Amino acid sequence: MADSSPFIYDLIGIGFGPSNVAIAGALIEKWHGQTEKSFKQTLFIEKHSTFQWHPGMLLPGAQMQISFMKDLATLRSPQSPLTFLNYLHIHGRLPAFINRGSSTPSRKEFADYLAWAARYVEEHGVNVNYGQEVVGIDESLDGLITVTSRSVSDGQLHDFVTRNLVVSPGGRGRFPNAATPLLKEPLITERSTLIHSSEYKYRVSKLLKSITNTTPRPLRIAVIGGGQSAAEVTINLHNLLSDIPAGDGPVGHQVDMIIRKGSLKPSDDTQFSNEIFDPEVTSSWFGTVEQSRERIMSEYKSTNYSVVNSRTIDTLYEIVYDQKVEDAISARNPTKSTPGPRINIRSHMHIPSLKYDSSSQTFLFTLQNVQTRQVFENDTYDAIVCATGYQRNSWMEMLRNSSRLGKRFGVESGSSISDVRLVPFAQRTPSPNPVPTASASTSTPDLYDDFESSSISSIGTSSSAITTPPTGDDGSIGEKERQSSRDPVKVYITRSYRLLPMASTQTVQDGSAEGLKARIYLQGMEEATHGLSDTLLSVIGCRAGEVVDDLLSED
């Protein structure tokens, strides 16, 4: 009789962006020189048909904001074949790159490097299923994990079983609350007149075509956001509108940046501030109490959030200044020609309301100045680009939508994603000579705890060797750790990026008596526990090495 048991992978990765390419590269290095290649049966599942990295923001002239040495491998292993320098050497551009006199490549070149690295790991034994979107994960009866994907081309479902799962799906574009209901309007989606900056490059042509009539007229486009992406989109729209006739009126095309701050703020990329992205800071961040992490986040927010690179600010300011020059010249020498596209920065603005007029196919903004409280009603725009950041909670939704797996981590099917938060989990070392207390004879000190409830701050002492806490029969956190439905659901994560399950009577009794055997790792979604660098490229190589080392460790 043929064995009907499913094939079991050593590792499945959700997504095949830079994080999981780095994981694949670190695994290949472990295989090198070994007769028995552990974790050889690997599979990565990617919804795009080919490798892609932020394709919507690969705009002309866009530069990276960090050094090329913060690539997939250099900080972990400078001799790795996956370094950016090796990429340059193989393509014959190393001397020319050195002659540039800059350590920051263009975004186009770095995207090509990442695609080259993806091809490299595939050529060296890593399997990738492109064109498949993961639609579900769950626990199988044998304690492993079943990953269900759907083919983008034909909708066919596929199931895969794995002993280990690395979740690295990247972020999804976040829209302002006022704009979210409009995403369901068919006319808006058909015309692509409300888009996120993450998809800007490959949707802007349709956007402009949708709002350009046969009779030329001035167009008005809103860019919501005050960060790097918003600035780059604004400059690019200004350039594109220069080639579109605006009619013969006194006003030309308008691109309005709508920002809540008083002005665009420069990113702090000075030397000492940049140390917050150093790999060793991850342990310090992970090992401190919640209040300290929040304070550090607030202090260093200007390195990454709602800020603009100084070069981009210079370019944008030159455009705005040139508009002032043109205004002065036109005032002295009136002409009948229509002015060129204009950039306006509307600062201190909050968006209480946003509506869509289907008859005129325009958006109606209600804006309020956060300083003066002055309200501007029915400001009309033809299209909107939202450069308003990313959501990184898809892993929570995967757990919540599972029938069994989510319960292992305290995430029930009816729980709200907003109530789920990651909590650092580390080993606490008891004092060798504990001071006796009144309750010492009736209680045992808990040697494991999370840093939210701990009174200690063990910066840099958390152990990445921790796998699962010993309080449950199945090697999981005891039932006492479960939060009430009114409290936030704490999902515990180790320094080595592994999620720790909770003891669950329900899941143990329904057929998986031995408990969850599979391990789940997160990448790029644990900024609160592992630091500001987690969603960026800064520690991607080192993090991959830590995850792979933990994968290969003996529990």
8 A C-beta contact, residue 34 and residue 555: no
Residue of higher predicted confidence among 383 and 433:
383
User: Which secondary-structure segment (H or E) carries 190?
Assistant: helix 186-191
Query: Which domains are delineated in the chain?
Result: 1-171+392-421+471-555 (3.50.50.60), 180-265+305-390 (3.50.50.60)
User: Is the confidence at residue 213, as pLDDT, over 90?
Assistant: no
Q: State the Cα torsion 341-343-349-352 to the nearest 10°.
A: 30
Q: What is the pLDDT of residues 285-321, one digit of tens each?
A: 999 998 999 999 999 999 999 999 999 999 999 999 9
Largest separation between any pair of C-alpha atoms in the chain: 93
Those residues with Cβ within 8 angstroms of residue 209's Cβ, 6 or more apart along the chain or in another chain: none
Length of the chain: 555
Residue 109's closest CA among 143, 84, 79? 84
User: Is the confidence at residue 444, as pLDDT, over 90?
Assistant: no
Alpha carbons 275 and 279: distance in angstroms, whole number: 9
Please return the burial class of 120, using the count of CB atoms within 10 Å of its CB with bins 0-12, 13-18 and 19+: buried
Q: How many other C-beta atoms can be found within 10 angstroms of the C-beta atom of residue 395?
A: 26
The whole-number pLDDT of residue 37 equals: 56
DSSP state of 502: B
Beta strand spans in 153-253 (E):
157-162, 164-167, 172-173, 194-196, 220-224
Alpha carbons 198 and 210: distance in angstroms, whole number: 19
Q: What is the pLDDT of residues 498-555, one digit of tens each?
A: 999 986 444 444 444 457 899 999 999 999 999 999 999 999 999 999 999 999 986 5
List the alpha helices (DSSP H) in 260-404: 271-274, 281-286, 290-299, 310-332, 394-401
Is the four-CA dihedral 368, 326, 244, 309 of positive or negative sign?
A: negative
At 60 the three-state DSSP class reads coil
Q: What is the pLDDT of residues 236-286, one digit of tens each?
A: 999 999 999 998 888 999 999 999 999 999 999 999 999 999 999 999 999
Tokens of 289: 């109490």
**Percent of the chain whose predicted confidence (pLDDT) is above 90:** 74
The whole-number pLDDT of residue 514 equals: 54
User: Which secondary-structure segment (H or E) carries 87?
Assistant: helix 84-90
